[in-house]
Structure formats: structure tokens, C-alpha cells
Structure 1
Amino acid sequence: MSPSDNAAKQLVHIVDDDEALRDSLVWLLESTGLAVSAYASAEEFLAAWRPDITGCLVLDVRMPGMSGLELYEKLNGMHSTLPVIFITGHGDVPMAVSALKKGAVDFIEKPFNDRDMLKLIEQCLAQERSQREARRQGAEAQRRIEQLTPREREVLDLIVAGRLNKQIADDLGISIKTVEVHRARVMEKMGANSLAELVQHVLITSPAKAG
């Protein structure tokens, strides 16, 4: 497996109180070229967590002190965007299923196959890269919208609503020529080459606003 440059910048965070399992996973992942950080407890990971960390989280469901599920719920409350894979013992499967319903990516039962674990982690990293890129694009589109003048913003809203130039001119009480000038400036400022692209730029700002 040869991770891309993007994947190499991501970090697989392993949180498990079982030292032997932690060491085994670190060795497995590092042998494929993935960057890994391991933690012996949920509390230890929480102390190191930052909103901007990337990658994914491999989390044991049952640990002394704060459990994996408690950590997961705490991270959700802090709007963490890290995809999570739970490691479970047989008796913990119902808890893991509950976590899936709350947004966890998947769970894997001990003892697990190395190949299955690697496949899950690669899926998580790909998902996280995709989500991060979508957030970046949404934030960039929002930044461009905020650079529009109030009149350009009105024209943009009407364009996205499907209004034609003549209708926009009537709506705003301005000439069609003026609408065309505003429309050209909107397209330029938004970095859009077509009407479809302009609409897409506006639509992707919704996740940015939600986040």
C-alpha cells in the first residue's frame, strides 16, 4: 500500500488501554507508511485533541476510566470531524451498534484481521480527506460571497433562484445592461465559468455555515 501525499499528512489516532494491541497496531500501520499516534486512555487523547487534527480515530469501546463511547460522545459535543472506528469485544457489539447510529464509521471485533483493519482505516482516511476538502471549498465560496457588494449579492440570489436578466432588471428596477455588468462581476468574483458552477459554489456554502 502506498498512501498518497494527502494520506501521509493524516494521522491515525489509536486509543486503547491494551499496550500489546496498541503496539501491534502502531507497527502494522507504520509498516504501510501511515503516520500513527497512540494513547493509553481516552483522557490522554482528549488532552492532546485539537479541532484541527486530521486523520481518523481507532477507539476501544471498553477502557478503564472514560470509556470509548464516552470519549466519542464528548468529541461529538466538541464538533470533532475525525471519522471513528470502534474496536470491540464480543459483548460490546450492542454498544458499538449504538455508536454507529450516532455517526461512527464502523466497528471491528477482536481478534481482527490486519487486512480488514487496514481497509477500514483507508476508507476512513479517504472519507476524512473528502470531507475536509468539501469544508475548504465551502469556506472559500463563502469568502467570495462576502466580497460581493450588496447589489451583486441581490443579483446573485436572483440568478440562483433561476431569474432571467430581464426579470432581474424588473425585480431590482435597473436596466438589463446594468444586470449584465453585475452578473459578469459576480461570475468573476465567485470564480465561476458557468451558471451551473455558480450555483454549485453557492450550494456548497451551506455546510460551511452549518460548521
Structure 2
Amino acid sequence: MINMPALVLRTARHAPLTTEPCVHLVDDDEHFRIAIGLLLSTSGIHTKGYHSAEHFLSVYVPQDNECLLLDLRMPGIGGLELQRKMNERHINLPVIVISAFAETPSVVETIRNGAIDFLEKPIEEVALIDKVTKALATDRSRKAETGDLHRRLHRLSDRERQVMQGFIDAKTTQEVARHLGISPKTVEKHRVHIFEKLAVSSVPELMCLLARQVK
């Protein structure tokens, strides 16, 4: 179920904070983290290294131009489990999975969990730069869309939010009217204003718009 107050707060929490490109690298191999950091720095990309999934989860702060390089096999929480925890916490980062082994079932599972690409160790410089550049572009696009929705949502009045929540909960116009103690005609007026402010033309389109932001 989509909850409007939670959605607005989540959108605000993930608002852009900085424009410097940053790659979060979660890998238990310190030498690998240093090597990748030096390599990406030649392209003007800053790298933040984390020695474990637990370390990443404990200190991660969102920004607006970022992606994640994630080792599949690590002591403790592995790459797959970290993805699940990120999804639970609504950490919506473009993820590039890295591994010394082309483990097809595991790679497929990471894609299902939201990873956008895969790199096999040893990593080729050209492939790394290309995939990271695309991942950063994906993040900027996602954050721009989220920011646009955030601005549109804040144009809604409190009553319009209540009416919209009723439609999200699959209530009919009459049910929303009874729940809020207003007339069906007033509900319809609010519905028109909601659609205009959010640039949608139907409740299904509204649901699709909001659902993209809570994945």
C-alpha cells in the first residue's frame, strides 16, 4: 500500500545534496578498493570505500550523483543480502555487481533485486569507466524525476492529499466523500485539481507515478 505522508517524507529525505559524482565501493579487499579508487579518480570520479556491507549501511548518506559497486561475495552480509536490506530501507542506488566468478544464478538474482549491470574481476578499465558513467547518469535521471514529483506533491492542499489517499486505497468517490464528510461533488472537484497538479489523467496513471517512487 502506498502511504502519502511516508512517500513525501521519503522523497524529501532523498533530495539532492551534492553534485560531485561519487561511487560507493563495497568490497572486503582493501587493495582492490584502493586500486579502483585511483582508477576512477583519473576520470574525476570520487570513490568512497566500505570494507563490509554492515559498514556501508551504518554510514551511508544519500547524494544526487552516485552509484554503488558491490562485491557479490563478502564475509558477513553478502552482496545479495545487502541489496535486500537496501530495498527494505528504500536506498535506491544504481548497483553494479562485481565478482571474481560469473555466477549466473546469483547475477540473475541481483538483477531481480535492482542491479543494473555486472563486472567480472579482473576489471577492465574501459568497461569500468563506461558502466560507472552510465550508472551515474541513471542516478541523476532518477533523482530528477523524484525531485519533480516531490515539488508537485507539495502543491497539493491537505484536503487534496486526503482525497488522493482515498483513491490510492481504492475507495470510490462516494466512499471518499463519506469518509471525509464532504459531498461527492466536492471530491470530484478535488480529483480534478489533483490530476492537474500532478499532470496525470486517471487514477491508474496516478498509481503508476507514485509506485515508481516507492520501489
Work out whether the TM-score is over 0.5.
yes
Aligned to 2:35: 24
Please, which runs of 5 or more residues in structure 1 have no aligned partner? 1-5, 154-170, 174-181
- Whichever structure has more helix as a proportion of its residues is 1
Q: Is the 8 A contact 1:7 1:125 kept in 2?
A: no
Contact 1:62–1:88 (Cα < 8 Å) also in 2? yes
C-alpha displacement at 1:146, in angstroms? 2.4
Contact 2:119 2:128 in 1 (8 A): yes
Equivalent of 1:63, from 74, 78, 95? 74
Please give the per-residue CA displacement for 1:139-178, whole angstroms capped at 9, x wherever unaligned: 111111227879xx9xxxxxxxxxxxxxxxxx959xxxxx
- Write out per-residue CA displacement over residues 64-99 of structure 1, whole angstroms, 9 at most, x where no aligned residue: 121111111111111111111010122534212211
Distance 1:23 1:13, change over 3 A: same
What is the correspondence of 1:189-204 to structure 2 with a 5 Å cutoff? 190=197, 203=206
Residue 89 (str. 1) matches residue 100 (str. 2)? yes
Q: In structure 2, what is the equivalent of residue 36 of structure 1?
A: 47
1:49-77: per-residue Cα shift (whole Å, max 9, x none)? 24x34411101000112111111111111
Q: 1:14 aligns with which of 14, 25, 43?
A: 25
Q: Structure 1 CA distance, aligned partners of 2:47 and 2:154?
A: 34
What amino acid maps onto 1:117 in structure 2? L
- TM-score, normalised with respect to structure 2: 0.66
Asked whether the 8 Å contact 1:135–1:207 carries over to 2, the reply is no
Structure 1 vs Structure 2 CA RMSD: 3.4
Flag the structure with larger Rg.
Answer: 1
Mapped partners of 1:141, 1:208: distance in 2:
15
Match runs of 1:49-198 below 5 Å: 49-50=60-61, 52-54=62-64, 55-146=66-157, 190=197
Task: Compare relative contact order (CA 8 Å, sep 6+) and give the higher one, 1 or 2.
Answer: 2
Q: 1:77 to 1:209 in 2, by over 3 A?
A: closer
Contact 1:56 1:128 in 2 (8 A): yes
1:206 equivalenced with 2:215 (yes/no)? no
Cα 1:146/1:49, change in 2 over 3 Å:
same
Q: 1:86 to 1:208 in 2, by over 3 A?
A: closer
TM-score by length of 1: 0.67
| Change in CA separation of 1:8 and 1:35 when aligned onto 2, cut-off 3 Å | farther
User: What's the secondary structure of 1:36's corresponding residue?
Assistant: strand
2:3 maps to none
Residue deviations 1:18-61, cap 9 Å, x none? 122111110011111112101111111111124x3441110100
Aligned-partner residue type, residue 136 of structure 1: G
- Counterpart of 2:116, as a letter, is V
1:3 corresponding residue in structure 2: none
Tell me the distance in 1 between the aligned counterparts of 2:77 and 2:185. 59
In the TM superposition, what is the alpha-carbon distance from 1:111 to its structure 2 partner?
Answer: 1.3
Count of aligned pairs between the two proteins: 171
Give percent identity, aligned residues only.
Answer: 31
CA drift of 1:120 comes to: 0.8
Question: Do 2:72 and 2:97's aligned partners in 1 also have CA atoms closer than 8 Å?
Answer: yes
In 1, the alpha carbon distance for the partners of 2:102 and 2:209 equals 43
